[in-house]
Chains A and B, each alone.
Chain A
Amino acid sequence: MNPHALTRRLLSAAAALLMSAGALAVAAPGAAQEEQTDSLLIATNQEVDTFNPFKRRFVITYNTSMMTYETLVRMGTDYEPVPGLATEWEESEDGLTWTFQIREGAEWSDGEPLTAQDVAYTYDLLIENQAIRDWNIDFAGNLVSAEAPDDTTFVLTLAQPSPWDVLTREVFIVPEHIWSQYPDPSADDANQLPLVGSGPFQVTEFETDEFIRLEANEHYWDGAPGFDEIVFDYYTETDAAVAALEAGEVDIVNGLNPAQIEALDGQDGITVNNAQGRRYVSLTLNYNSVTQDGTAFGDGHPALKDPIVRQAMHMAIDKAALVDRVLDGNGQPATSIIPEIFEQYHWDGGDSLLEFDIDAANALLDEAGYVRGEDGIRTMPGTGERLSFRFFQHADNTDYATVVQFVTEWWTELGLEIKPEAIEQGTLNDMAYLGEFDIAFSGWGVGPNPTEQLGMHTCAVLPTLTDGTERSSENNYCNPEFDALHEQQKVESDPDARAALIKEQQRMLYEDTPVIYLYYQNVLEAYNSDKITGMTLQPSDGGMITGQQGYAWSYVTAQPVGAAEEAGTPAWVWIAVAGAAVVVVAGAVVFALRRRKTADERE
């Protein structure tokens, strides 16, 4: 074959490639500019369990449900009940009947009107559909009937008065005209994308482990949100999400650690939000592993049954120092179960507050007859058993490892022998519920309705079996007085009276010391303030952006700053591709020519 023919053919192919790449390069940015969309990009790492609002359990799907759908009563920026789909509501004298006025003119995102019939249909699912009822049994079990006498009135009947459940339980109202088409609403059939809801944004697109797209609802009764769409973008590693925030690829990042916010703080266009959180961290003392019928299980140290020992251990912990040294100051020392963020319910310790005082704690133990042995470790009066405790920590939590170091030092000064051990979290949970530990870490995120968290400390949820499978009780706390207060606060309609009861419950937990509450952890977030402005926080004063409850105030109120950045692939990529094509083609030509040459030589 003529070598020139080959060369010519290759060159013409290269030219064709170049021209098509060039044409694409011109076309692509143009196409992107036509429809300029203001997107709010939020980094996430949690997988989607389901888009069914009754079935969802994960935070990510809580967030998407909260934006797609709405509740009758919204949770305000300070966790107070404010009108949502219901404009007003009334509780009957006996507390069993609730009447809601449903907002007129609200529409579903497909343009259909939203009426009280949809509300009744939704609440009926909780009552009639066995699977949906089971998933929500703690609330649904108390519902008797749900009716809509007309298009704007909804009447809910309860078996027991339960005002706060009715007001704070998030029942996301779903469209009857969509959901009733499917034979079983508990299956995922009714959750075909795009979702139809009445909230500010609806889920329209989901690519597993890539992104979830929510588009603004043009029919939203409460006015259009500032952004056209919200995208949850997946970042497996927080460090990568931080790099993306700095590079302008994502707009809101949460779950940061102190080192990360320190690095971000003060950077141009990035604002760090260091907000009070809903989470407490505590130490569980194994003092009472018994079932409801009084069968003891597990192998907790007997000395922990003595309230004096637990109190002394409590006094020997400098919580302020832990906040400083472990959290770099990003938190508050804890008193009891409800964090400071819930101002109305948080109990500040009052007169019962224990000061950090190792000497006083030592004196308490001396007085109670726990004398020190030759090795400096105290022994129990009577049996003479050494106060040697196993201290279990979650192996994946570096904060806990630091806490263990401090606490072990303080408790050693108390004459206790502490044996710290890092254990994988699944194993640790198993051992904790089997009662096979002395001291272990625990911690929960507390919701705006404290009933749930306090309910974990009632006698009713003590296990009935000793196999550790019933995991409803937090450290098997059981105190009839506490239970009585708990029943009272559940039905108390007056917010102030209820708060007083809840504070009293917390005082009991503090004094009985089944657990030692260490600190409340702050939420550390950062966002691109060159792009976003005007986000409403919850609580409104110094609150958080990403962990909001009941309504997505921050995302709905967020406004874009100026024009959005150019979307799509940057132009230089097209040029680089064209360049790469030239290099490849040129390389192929050179190679072919060389091959020819060597072949000539060979012959």
Chain B
Amino acid sequence: MTADGPTPADAAAPSGAAPSAGRRPGRVANGFGRYLCKHVAGAAVSLLLVLFSSFFIFRLIAGDPIDQLTKERPVSPEERAALRAELGLDRPMWEQFWDYIIGTLTMDLGDSFQYRRPIFDLIVERLPATILLSGTGMVLAVLLGFWIGTRTGWRQGSRYDRGHVAAGLLLYSAPTFWLGMIVILVFARYLGIFPVNGMRSPSTPPQFWPQALDIAHHLVLPVLTYTAVVYAGYLMIMRSSILDEIGSDYLTTARAKGLRDDQVRDRHAVPNALLPTVTLVFLAIGGIVNGSIVTEAVFSWPGLGSLFVQAVFYPDRPVLQALFVLFSASTILAVLAAEILYWFIDPRIRKS
């Protein structure tokens, strides 16, 4: 089956491309245009579906927002009505839907129920914190995962391999929440060398250097937790990718040239093994915005993840809608970018 794999694709492709084989330059540009259109259209459809479903999904969460706003306090019917009008809940569904669509497309995301402030501001305020935490964690996790993955794959079955795969998978399957609490207890509570939570302490002087240092100090434990949980994913992909390459003829050739083992690995095996991981890296970049919801919650990190968790418990429908669209859009666009990039780095796609 694997040997026959390419055949159906080859058979399908010529239907459009074969007759115009004579004009090569035009065909390439045309091919890229079509490829681009296809994927951009796909992404656009996904985005629209997300936009529409976001409105309805969060209306499935039961509960009256007014109950939360007036928690633990008796409310007169007049007060209830006033709140309902203020939040726009008294308007017909189609009107709310229309406002939501137009609003989202024009970046006017409306007001949050719980904060009663524009959601756009809420997101802008928290985005840097999220990018700082998950961006740092993601870069570390990718580098660490690829580094170890390359070496474990290269020496498959060795003690090094088994040890790293076991450790990685153990951390991968550990609940983030639990791991975070353990990290807090060990490093903050008992060793006392890192702060328990937050992004900075209120007593830090407002100047740039003390603030930057304080933030870096607070960043260590959440990044540690986040990296520990996700790096195994990159490790495993890189490992299997290396395993795919390991028996290839070109590696034998490289060895025959007299190159050292690690040179064969780093100069010849790794570049080829990296290709399948491009999607993964782009997904990771897209995922930086979604961040690390649980890590943020455990460490009270003031980012989008914390905002999302609060909004779910509230439930703060407009915030959930906006974040859902944002999270989905960042992933969809990252995947689109990866697909476009493939055109340039993987010749096989151009041929098909």
Name A residues whose Cβ lies closer than 8 Å to a Cβ of B.
Answer: 24, 28, 31-32, 37, 39, 41, 47-50, 57-58, 131, 134-138, 141, 207-211, 213, 231, 233-237, 239-241, 243-244, 246-247, 249-250, 424-427, 429-430, 444-445, 447, 452-453, 455-456, 461, 469-472, 567-569, 572-574, 577
* Complex Cα spacing A28 to B181, Å: 30
Taking CB atoms, residues of chain A closer than 8 Å to B315 are: 426
By a CB distance below 8 angstroms, the chain B residues around A39 are: 202-203
Q: Is the CB of A568 within 8 A of B63?
A: no
Contacts of A430 in B (CB 8 A): 62-64
Task: Report the minimal beta-carbon distance from B238 to chain A, rounded to whole angstroms.
Answer: 21
> What are the interface flags for B67-95 relative to A under an 8 Å C-beta threshold, 1 for contact and 0 otherwise?
10111111111111011000000000000
Contact A243 B185 (CB under 8 A): yes
**B297/A32 in contact, CB under 8 A:** no
Contact, CB under 8 Å: A244 / B197? yes
Q: Looking across the interface, which residue of chain B has its beta carbon closest to that of A278?
A: B72
Contact B300 A236 (CB under 8 A): yes
Establish whether residues A429 and B63, one from each chain, have CB atoms under 8 Å apart when the complex forms: yes
Q: B72 contacts A568, CB within 8 Å?
A: no
Subset of 5 A-B contacts with CB under 8 Å: A28-B209, A234-B198, A234-B302, A235-B198, A430-B62
Q: Is the CB of B192 within 8 A of A577?
A: no
Verify B114–A47 contact, CB threshold 8 A: yes
**A456-B74 contact given A471-B64, A569-B217, CB 8 Å threshold:** yes
- By a CB distance below 8 angstroms, the chain B residues around A247 are 188-189, 192, 196
Q: Which residues of A contact B217 (CB under 8 A)?
A: 569, 573
Q: List, in ascending order, chain B residues with CB within 8 A of A469's CB.
A: 64
- Cβ A207 vs Cβ B302 within 8 A: yes
Asked if A470 and B298 sit within 8 Å, CB to CB, the answer is no
The reply to whether A210 and B77 form a contact with Cβ atoms under 8 Å apart is no
Residues of A near B189 (CB, < 8 A) are 243, 246-247
Chain B residue with Cβ nearest A574: B213
Residues in A neighbouring B272, C-beta threshold 8 A? none
Residue numbers in B under 8 Å from A239 (CB-CB): 181
Which B residues are CB-close (under 8 A) to A572? 193
A207 to B61, CA, bound (A): 29
The verdict on B199 contacting chain A, using a C-beta distance below 8 Å, is yes
**Cβ–Cβ contact B302 & A31, under 8 A:** no
Task: Closest A residue to B196 by CB, please name it.
Answer: A244
CB < 8 Å neighbour of A28 from B72, B77, B122, B210: B210
In the complex formed, the residue of B with least CB distance to A452 is B74
Contacts of A28 in B (CB 8 A): 205, 209-210, 213
Asked if B155 is an interface residue, CB under 8 A from chain A, the answer is: no
Nearest chain A CB to B121's CB is how many angstroms away? 9
Contacts of A461 in B (CB 8 A): 76-77
Q: How far is the CA of A138 from the CA of B75 in the complex (A)?
A: 8
Query: Do A208 and B62 have beta carbons less than 8 Å apart?
Result: no
A234, A426, A470, A573 interface centre (most CB from chain B within 10 Å): A426
CA A461 to CA B75, docked complex, whole Å:
10
Given contacts A246-B189, A568-B210, 16 further A-B contacts (CB under 8 A): A28-B213, A47-B114, A48-B115, A57-B69, A134-B82, A138-B78, A233-B198, A235-B196, A240-B197, A243-B189, A247-B189, A429-B62, A429-B67, A430-B64, A444-B72, A568-B201
Q: Does B310 contact A (CB under 8 A)?
A: yes
Other-chain contact of A567, B72, B83, B203 (Cβ < 8 Å): B203
* CB atoms of A37 and B203 under 8 A apart: yes
Contact A47 B310 (CB under 8 A): yes
| Interchain CB contact under 8 A, A208 and B126 | yes
Which one of A426, A447, A455 contacts B62 once the chains associate, using CB atoms below 8 Å? A426
**Minimum-distance CB pairs A-B, first 10:** A426-B63, A209-B302, A134-B82, A427-B62, A567-B203, A244-B196, A426-B62, A236-B300, A243-B189, A211-B202
> Considering the complex, which residues of chain B in the window 282-340 have a beta carbon less than 8 Å from any beta carbon of chain A?
297-300, 302, 306-307, 309-310, 315
Contact B202 A427 (CB under 8 A): no
Indicate if B204 sits at the interface (CB-CB under 8 A). Answer: yes
Contacts of B204 in A (CB 8 A): 567-569
Query: Which of A49, A131, A209, A471 contacts B67, CB < 8 Å?
Result: A471
Chain A residue, CB-CB nearest to B185: A243
A209-B126, A240-B299, A568-B203 known; A137 and B64 CB under 8 Å? no
Instruction: Establish whether residues B203 and A236, one from each chain, have CB atoms under 8 Å apart when the complex forms.
Output: no
Question: For A41, what are the chain B residues with a Cβ–Cβ distance below 8 Å?
Answer: 202
Query: In the docked arrangement, what's the CA distance between A135 and B213, Å?
Result: 44
B214 CB within 8 Å of chain A? yes
Which chain A residues border B78 with CB–CB below 8 Å?
A: 134, 137-138, 141
Instruction: Answer yes or no: B195 CB below 8 A from chain A CBs.
Output: yes
Question: In the complex where A209-B302, A426-B62, A430-B62 touch, is A472 in contact with B188 (Cβ < 8 A)?
Answer: no
Give Cα distance in the complex from A504 to B302, angstroms. 50
Measured between beta carbons, the chain A residues less than 8 angstroms from B203 are 32, 37, 39, 567-568
Interchain CB contact under 8 A, B79 and A134: yes
A427 engages B63 (CB within 8 Å): yes
CB distance from A25 to the nearest CB of B (A): 10
| Interface assignment of B125: CB less than 8 Å from any CB of chain A | yes
Taking the nearest CB of chain A, how far is it from the CB of B261, in angstroms? 14
CB of B184 within 8 A of chain A?
yes
